[in-house]
A and B are shown apart, each in its own frame.
Chain A
Amino acid sequence: MARLKVEEINFSFGYDTILEDISFEVNEGEVVSLVGPSGGGKTTLLRLCAELLDRQEGKIENSFKTQAVAFQDPRLLPWKNVIDNISFGLKAMGVSSHEREERAKEIALKFDLEENDFDKFPKELSGGMSQRVSFARALVTKPDLLFLDEPFSALDIGLKRELQDHVMELIENKEITIFFITHDIMEAIRLSDKILLLAPDPGRIVKIYDFDVPQAQRDDEYVYSQTAKLLSDREIIETFELEFR
């Protein structure tokens, strides 16, 4: 079984310690969320896991074959149209141009993009459409491991829900493993099997929450009640510096 195993990671920029003694595991088919306040080192940890940053101390073992990232900003190449942007990862894998186009079109339609959008450049797309394209680009390669770096945070609730539903579908079919970064606790509860709470200065995991109910059975009531429960948790209150008056 493939897994991402992180052991005793320490990381610092100069004299600033960003991450301290981080250990966790993401097993195949799991959704693991990393929750914590902004500026707490979440993205740094993701970049270490995705090998976008060089490790300094500790061990990261990643036995997934393919991976993709959906970033907070869509990062579409401005000189490529929608279809070419979506199929960018496929091109890197050496898929033939005909098949690339077909697969890109298929997933674009699934993500509610319209055929007359296919030739558009990113400058002509709205924020929501760009994020859909970015998501499609990550998912069209059928990655074993998907990193999500707050990809929903700039979207309206309707679109957020829609993209989350796409992710849910993949989760239910056990087609994907996800490492998900967010500062939205409700979002994390809806999607995750496990939530890691990352406290800042220096970034360290202070608590791990497990959720056993399958994602498909989590209705709004469940999500709200769990959110309320978490929000009254002492560690969460301290980490996010919540003060109830």
Chain B
Amino acid sequence: MKSLLKILRDFPAYLWSGWGAIASVFIFIAAWDVGNQVYGDLILPSPLETFQTLAQLFKESEFVENLMITLRRAMIGFSISLVAGTALGLLAGFFVTASMVSRPIVTILMGMPPIAWIVLAMIWFGMGDATVEFTVVVASLPIVFVGALQGTRTLEDKFDEMADIFKVPPVMKLFDIYLPHIFSYVFPAWVAALGMAWKIVVMAELLATSDGLGAALALARSQLDTASALAIVVAMVGLLMVAEYIFLEPIKREVEKWRD
């Protein structure tokens, strides 16, 4: 609660520090406009046209529906990864054998290209929600798992010993010693997993479904509607940036403030 208030209090100062970031986004848009002038509207529509198309898209109920479908799929997949990945990671971290056994499996899971999972999922689950959600889980769960595992494996005995001297009760040990340390590993993993989930969901949709942003992207491609395709990409990137910079980054700064 105290940290939440602190995050809100620091928020204006944090936003003010964003001018540099905004400036660099504008440089990027300027470069994009140069690209448009060199290659023409079909290859690379101008930023203005793209943003106009985007505004137009938001007025259409079909696009908003697709956006919601994609958001829902990403959130379901991400939530499963978050809960299961954290729980399994903590569990594995507390047992030396479990963490030794899980390491290579995680390496296999992380090394497997998501596109391979999509193909397999299409065979297993057909075309639809399950395929997309499965792929999202499979791609983002290992990230969360590794974060939780490392957080638990790196707990230090010396703090445990110090707490034992003061006869610290187990619940207080959990909240004052174990969780702050573990959280500082798990939280960045959650953020990384969210980014992964968002990327994978669109890719899976493009190949495996007839609705959602990915499918809309596929449609725009088949109609050679470059402006719409770019507008969808801008919407996707924009949403991720809002999530990351407005919500996650301030929290991350607060929970990691004590770190070196």
Contact A78 to B167, CB < 8 A, known contacts A71-B162, A91-B172: no
Complex CA–CA separation, A92 to B166 (angstroms) = 7
In the complex, A240 has a CB within 8 A of chain B: no
A contact face: mostly helix, strand, loop, or mixed: loop
| A contact residues vs B (CB 8 Å cutoff) | 47, 50-52, 67-69, 71, 73, 75, 77-80, 88-89, 91-93, 121-123, 141, 147
Complex CA–CA separation, A175 to B95 (angstroms) = 44
**B157-176 interface (Cβ within 8 A of A):** 158-159, 161-169, 172, 176
Instruction: Please tell me if the beta carbons of A78 and B161 are within 8 angstroms of each other in the complex.
Output: no
Chain A residue, CB-CB nearest to B165:
A69
| B contact residues vs A (CB 8 Å cutoff) | 158-159, 161-169, 172, 176-177, 180-181, 184, 257-260
Instruction: Please tell me if the beta carbons of A79 and B180 are within 8 angstroms of each other in the complex.
Output: yes
Instruction: Please tell me if the beta carbons of B165 and A68 are within 8 angstroms of each other in the complex.
Output: yes
Instruction: Please tell me if the beta carbons of B165 and A67 are within 8 angstroms of each other in the complex.
Output: yes
Instruction: Please tell me if the beta carbons of A77 and B177 are within 8 angstroms of each other in the complex.
Output: yes
Q: Which residues of A contact B184 (CB under 8 A)?
A: 79
Instruction: Please tell me if the beta carbons of B181 and A75 are within 8 angstroms of each other in the complex.
Output: no
Contact A50 to B258, CB < 8 A, known contacts A75-B158, A75-B159, A92-B172: no
Instruction: Please tell me if the beta carbons of B165 and A123 are within 8 angstroms of each other in the complex.
Output: no
Complex CA–CA separation, A91 to B159 (angstroms) = 15
Q: Which residues of B contact A50 (CB under 8 A)?
A: 165
Chain B residue, CB-CB nearest to A67:
B165
Nearest-Cβ distance from residue A177 to partner chain B, whole angstroms: 15
Chain B residue, CB-CB nearest to A52:
B161
5 further A-B contacts with Cβ under 8 Å, apart from A78-B259, A80-B258, are A75-B161, A77-B176, A88-B163, A92-B163, A122-B258
Q: Which residues of A contact B176 (CB under 8 A)?
A: 77, 80, 88, 91
> Which residue of A47, A88, A123, A141 is within 8 Å of B258 (Cβ)?
A123
